Amino acid sequence: MQQSLDAGYEVTIHQSPITESGWTGAGYIQIAPDTGAGAYTIEGGTNGAWIPVIAITIAMLAIVLGPLLGQYLWSR
């Protein structure tokens, strides 16, 4: 966060850590005032994208494997 401030970004941070879906931590938003470009960073250096990736992966597996599993179970 300090690097963002030193680089001239506008930084917004939580007043205190938050809890969401079993995760507790903090995050911050950094915005470049000249372009409006920004980034959303959560504790640990990630941007939270792993949650949708996991959800999409599970959904794809269910779509592909669900019918196969159903066929296997019904044929027994």
Q: Are 13 and 26 in contact (CB under 8 A)?
A: yes
| pTM attached to this predicted model | 0.47
Do 24 and 59 lie in one domain? The reply is no
- Domain match, 25 and 53 both: no
What are the beta bridge partners of residue 20?
23
Each residue's pLDDT tens digit, 6-25: 989 888 887 888 887 777 78
Question: Same domain for 40 and 53?
Answer: no
Task: Tell which residue, 44, 34, 46, 39, has the closest CA to residue 8.
Answer: 34
Quick one: 31 and 53 in the same domain?
Answer: no
Say if residue 59 is in the same domain as residue 28: no
Instruction: Let me know the angle formed at the C-alpha of 54 by 50 and 57, rounded to the nearest 5 degrees.
Output: 135
2 and 24 in a common domain: yes
Total count of domains within the chain? 2
- Do residue 34 and residue 59 come from a single domain? no
Closest CA to 28 of 16, 53, 61: 16
| 3 — pLDDT class (breaks 50, 70, 90) | confident
Residues 53, 31 within the same domain: no
Owning domain of residue 34? 1-45
- What are the backbone angles phi and psi of residue 63, rounded to the nearest 5°? -65, -45
